[in-house]
Amino acid sequence: MVKREFEAIQDEDDRFHLVLKLVLCAERPLTLLELAEGVATDKMEGIWNASNVVKDPMLLVDLCANLLVCFPHPERDLLQIVAPFHESVKRSLLAGRGEPEGSKTFSRPDVHIQLARLCLTYLKLKAMREFPSLLSDISDHPFAEYAITGWLDHIRASRTAEMAKEFQEFLAPGSATFEIWRHLFAGWSGAYASSKVLDHLEYLDPAHLAVWFNLPKIIPQFSSDQLCTEDYRGLSTLHVAMEVSSSIDIQVITSLLPEVDVGKVTKDGNTALHIATSHLQSNGRVVVHKLCEAGAKVNNRIKRDEHPST
């Protein structure tokens, strides 16, 4: 049934595919207003043009006939959420883990890459140029709150390294994009609000941020020098990974181990192993095992100025 509906309407409007991709793969349900700005962003060329945003967002839902529905936002009055009319819509159109991509209409990694770039385009064309307005009232910019963190979520969900260069360029220290984005992120960090990254954000380079934001496919795209560079606290990317080991994938840690000296000592005289054991969580045994496999020594805690390599 879903396939029949899709095939019957897919040629009627070139926005149809993007509407479905946003609704099916957004990291959280989108409102009608968010959907409208997100879809309009795809047609922007070098400058934000508000006239591209459809005035009646329900028209976008109508494009998808019986595949999508709207319902009241559970927390925000007067707003409506857009969702698939049934879970079978996502199952029918998106290839799941282990399924051949060609068996479904949309490739999940490709969709997430497209949506990550859509979020970045929005940030560059609108959020960066209307920064004061966003800070004063973000509700006037419906897609902004989603885009601020959504680009990171979609990079992670793609499980590819395709956006490594864009990630590094956007977060390059001192760049206009990084300086404006970090202020926006501080105000609208979404699921990252409980992360201690907010305490350090302005001082971090892209390699350390890739660890903080749990991006295991991006990390191998950095050079060994970048991964071994210390942050302003004197911590390598591996040290940081140990601090946040409970909130990142084990793949982040395994991707760092071949490149970063597991015995490197911090200013406080701690190795990655000592930091890991002081932050033990549910995955602690696995983390410690990986470090020991990589050559970590249990009794290697010494002051940095006493270390033979210094």
Q: Is residue 161 part of a domain?
A: no
Indicate the pLDDT class of residue 276, thresholds 50, 70 and 90. Answer: confident
- Name the domain count of the chain: 1
The domain that contains 235 carries what CATH number?
1.25.40.20
Q: pTM for this one?
A: 0.89
Q: Is residue 60 part of a domain?
A: no
Judged by average pLDDT, the poorest of 210-214, 267-271, 282-286 is: 282-286
Reply yes or no on whether the pLDDT at 298 is more than 80: no
Q: How far apart are CA 70 and CA 80, in angstroms?
A: 6
Q: Is residue 217 part of a domain?
A: yes
Q: Is residue 90 part of a domain?
A: no
Beta partners for residue 71, in sequence order: 81
Indicate the pLDDT class of residue 310, thresholds 50, 70 and 90. Answer: very low
Backbone angles phi, psi at 125, to 5 degrees: -85, -35
Backbone angles phi, psi at 105, to 5 degrees: -70, -45
Q: Is residue 232 part of a domain?
A: yes
Reply yes or no on whether the pLDDT at 152 is more than 70: yes
Q: Is residue 265 part of a domain?
A: yes
Domain of residue 272: give its range.
194-310
Q: What is the pLDDT of residue 305?
A: 45
pLDDT in tens, 15-59: 889 999 999 999 999 999 999 999 999 989 889 999 999 999 999
Q: Is residue 268 part of a domain?
A: yes
- Give the list of residues 6+ apart from residue 56 with CB closer than 8 angstroms, or none: none
SS3 of 58, please?
helix
pLDDT in tens, 208-250: 999 999 999 999 999 999 999 999 999 999 999 999 988 889 9
Q: How far apart are CA 41 and CA 57, in angstroms?
A: 14
Q: Is residue 128 part of a domain?
A: no
pLDDT in tens, 185-205: 999 999 898 888 999 999 999
End-to-end CA distance of the chain: 68
